Amino acid sequence: MRIILLGPPGSGKGTQAQLLVQRYGIVQLSTGEMLRAAVAAGTPVGLKAKEIMASGGLVPDDVVVGIISDRIDQPDAKNGFILDGFPRTVPQAEALDELLKRKHLKLDAVIELRVNESALLSRVETRVAQMRERGEEVRLDDTPEVLTKRLASYRSQTEPLIHYYSERRKLSTIDGMMAIDEVTRAIHRQLLALGAVEPKTHARSAAKAAPAKKAKAGKKLAKTPPKAAKKPAKSAKTAKKATKKAAKGAKKPTKKTAKKAAQKTAKKALKKGAKKAAKKVTKKRTKR
């Protein structure tokens, strides 16, 4: 994810940049810090910047863009970065577009924090008055006079970027006068809508829930098999009982069956005896 934060001094860019760094694991790139780091590291671009700064001159755009180019090639910037304080002008924005194009990288979003300038001045005046009452030292760059100059500089140099990025459909404007956490949520919603970030939290929790549900269902099935599984077992049990009963019946005939069998045997015996008696009578008659 590669984004730019735009907004006048006091709009909360620095605070929101830090929160975005923590949330998305990306790096915040501040031109001032990058210049100092490049000078300290003694890189070719850093040495060039050192010479210019030593003579009291302003570091030209091509040198600043060269420092940014070196910085975004570093491993910690692979996940993405937030540019804070750059670009400040339309030519710088054009140079940045060329740089990203050469590196086959895409700028995901430009977030503008829109604030009420008179409210910002009022905040600074209140803060300075409170610090003086407590006997604290007031920073020279944190006074209503300095802020007025910085706001004028922002309007003349940086505000044209709003039109530049709006034309390229990269700009998203958020009310910077809201509470810090509300601004953070609004930025996150905007990044989601632009597809710059994925709803990882939701996807992760859904992925965790699915296997857990399956495991629970499997456990339940193992404990209590479905009715369909119970029926065959029941049928087999019934059939076994019936077979047993039949076998028992075959071994031990009922009283009724035994009586019938005795009567049949008696009839047969009577019939046989009658036949024998008849034969004897016939024989006697023949002899006479």
Active site residue 139: yes
Active site residue 260: no
Between CA 242 and CA 249 the distance in angstroms is 10
C-beta of residue 112 within 8 angstroms of C-beta of residue 173: yes
Q: Which residues of the chain have pLDDT under 50?
A: 201-209, 212-213, 221, 226-235, 250-252, 281, 288
Q: Which superfamily does 2-26+79-206 belong to?
A: P-loop containing nucleotide triphosphate hydrolases (3.40.50.300)
Active site residue 150: yes
pLDDT recorded at residue 35: 82
Between CA 197 and CA 179 the distance in angstroms is 23
C-beta of residue 64 within 8 angstroms of C-beta of residue 35: yes
Binding site: which residues?
Answer: 10-15, 31, 36, 57-59, 85-88, 92, 134, 139, 150, 178
pLDDT tens string 27-78:
998 887 888 888 888 888 888 888 887 777 778 888 889 889 999 999 999 9
Active site residue 23: no
User: Would the CA dihedral through 173, 174, 175, 177 be positive or negative?
Assistant: negative
User: What count of Cα atoms within 13 Å lies in the side-chain half-sphere of residue 209?
Assistant: 6
- Hey, what are 264's tokens? 């049949």
Q: Which of 139, 213, 231, 245 is catalytic?
A: 139
DSSP symbol at 58: P
Active site residue 185: no
pLDDT recorded at residue 127: 82
Does the global pTM surpass 0.95?
no
pLDDT tens string 121-145:
888 888 888 888 898 888 777 788 8
pLDDT recorded at residue 162: 94
Give 117-123's long-range contacts (Cβ < 8 A, gap of 24+): 117/8, 117/151, 119/177, 120/8, 120/9, 120/10, 120/11, 120/147, 120/151, 121/147, 121/148, 121/151, 123/10
Between CA 54 and CA 49 the distance in angstroms is 8
Q: Which of 50, 114, 123, 150 is catalytic?
A: 150
Binding site for ATP: which residues?
Answer: 10-15, 134, 178
Query: What are the structural domain ranges in the chain?
Result: 2-26+79-206
pLDDT recorded at residue 19: 94
Output the CA angle 110-148-159, nearest 5 degrees: 25
Binding site for AMP: which residues?
Answer: 31, 36, 57-59, 85-88, 92, 139, 150
